[in-house]
Amino acid sequence: MLNRIFALEQNNTTVRQEVFAGITTFLAMAYIVVVNPAILSDAGMDFGAVFVATCLAAALGSLIMGLYANYPIAQAPGMGQNAFFAYGIVLGMGISWQIALGAVFIAGLIFLVLSVLPIREWLINSIPTSLKLGMSAGIGLFLGVIALTGSKVIIDNPATLISLGDLTELPALLMLLGFMLIAGLTSRGVVGAVLIGIIVITLIAWTLGETTFDGIVSMPPDPSALLELDIKGALEWSMVTVILTLLIVDIFDTAGTLVGVANQANMLDEKGRLPRLKKALLADSSATTAGALLGTSPTTSYIESAAGVQAGGRTGLTAVTTAALFLACLFIAPVAKGIPSFATGAALLFVACLMIRSISSLDWNDITESAPAVIAMLGMPLSYSIADGIGLGFIAYFIIKLLAGKNKDCPPAVIIISAIFILKFTFL
């Protein structure tokens, strides 16, 4: 039966190999069941409710990707998107988390429609590569700022805006130690390095009495965020750029992950195209929409799936295995709640480093390409808004190309998005 559903023989794999790959993928991305609730709880959401939503969204998204698209790619609430949700929309703009969930739902529906229509390829191909790279690096910088300020490695200073905190304080010291541990283990090729780093720092914190240990296993917390989204509130004009940002980030994050993991699994055709791309995008957009109903930020495909592919995963059975393990996570809420923010901060800082690497691919010899990317990259952490950073990048790209006499290089999609952000910055 499994061979028929997942075409195991056709993909030269076995049930044992796929299950092992699914476990490997889970270990590489399991940190999200702790980090995501920690971030969204800063926005006023209940930690336990988000924990449940995270586990269910990851399980459902991975299940859809595995059964419908037959891809060895797992899904979960995305890093970067959750930061934008909590610190950009809710805390930055003063919007309730219920309305923010409504915006995620609407963005997911639009993504769903785009995944069916030919406009999907037009949009993905229209956004300049330089802006995509700048967006990725900018989100990485934003996550880094959140990690460093959350553990008080960096503190506010009235004279200089920011300054170095007291590194002898335990939260700052343990966060930096955790980050270096994760980076060191990753360099050695250790699977689940991020999860191991979080666990080690948490055990140290428990031992030193910096945080409390409340047990290991319990029944799942109350899913109080379920169906709490406010769609009507998200339909206000002021939410247009928020929805647009959620949509853009989700589309390109998904596209980049799918291509990267599929390439590693040798799944691309002779023209470098993804087989069953429409199904994969439909699976991803469906997961985002369902995640909003469950009560979490956008769900997306995870680059950590590459760990499972490296372990031999080639079919959707890998993703289905990962989904089953996320469901099992529902019963370890006490452990998740007892993990201190500086332990998850170490993971955030490490993810930031991975995302910032994208700027190495920028064409630094063409200032009309590199300058807008840098503006977007710097705009996100310094404005404390992913949306505003993206907007500045698009506007800079359009105007610089125009002034340089290269307006033919500026796709219509960039002009449209730039106009929307100009209206936002002018009137909202």
Read off the pLDDT of residues 212-248 as tens digits, 9 standing for 90 and up: 777 777 788 888 888 889 999 999 888 888 898 888 7
Does 177 have pLDDT greater than 90?
A: yes
- The DSSP result for 380-413, as a single string, is HHHHT-HHHHHHHHHHHHHHHHHHTT-GGGS-HH
Q: Measure the CA–CA gap between 114 and 274, rounded to whole angstroms.
A: 17
> Which tops the pLDDT comparison, 269 or 392?
392
The pLDDT confidence band at residue 324, using thresholds 50, 70 and 90, is very high
Does 68 have pLDDT greater than 70?
A: yes
* Domain locations along the chain: 2-427
The pLDDT confidence band at residue 428, using thresholds 50, 70 and 90, is low
Q: Kindly state the average pLDDT of the residues 54-82.
A: 90
Q: Kindly state the average pLDDT of the residues 181-185.
A: 93
Residues 74 and 302 sit within 8 Å (Cβ to Cβ): yes
The pLDDT confidence band at residue 138, using thresholds 50, 70 and 90, is confident
CA distances (Å), 347 to each of 44, 189, 259, in order?
21, 16, 24
Which token pair is 241?
A: 């750029």
Indicate the average pLDDT of the chain. Answer: 85
The pLDDT confidence band at residue 124, using thresholds 50, 70 and 90, is low
Q: Kindly state the average pLDDT of the residues 406-425.
A: 85
Does 272 have pLDDT greater than 60?
A: no
Quote the pLDDT of residue 120.
Answer: 65
Quote the pLDDT of residue 367.
Answer: 95
The pLDDT confidence band at residue 112, using thresholds 50, 70 and 90, is confident
Asked which of 251-255, 330-334, 401-405 is least confident by mean pLDDT, the reply is: 251-255
Whole-model pTM? 0.76
The pLDDT confidence band at residue 305, using thresholds 50, 70 and 90, is confident
Quote the pLDDT of residue 400.
Answer: 95
Quote the pLDDT of residue 83.
Answer: 85
Q: Kindly state the average pLDDT of the residues 8-17.
A: 83
Which token pair is 153?
A: 């490695």
Neighbours of 76 (CB within 10 A): 29
Q: Kindly state the average pLDDT of the residues 286-298.
A: 92
Does 424 have pLDDT greater than 80?
A: no
Quote the pLDDT of residue 26.
Answer: 86
Q: Kindly state the average pLDDT of the residues 26-45.
A: 88
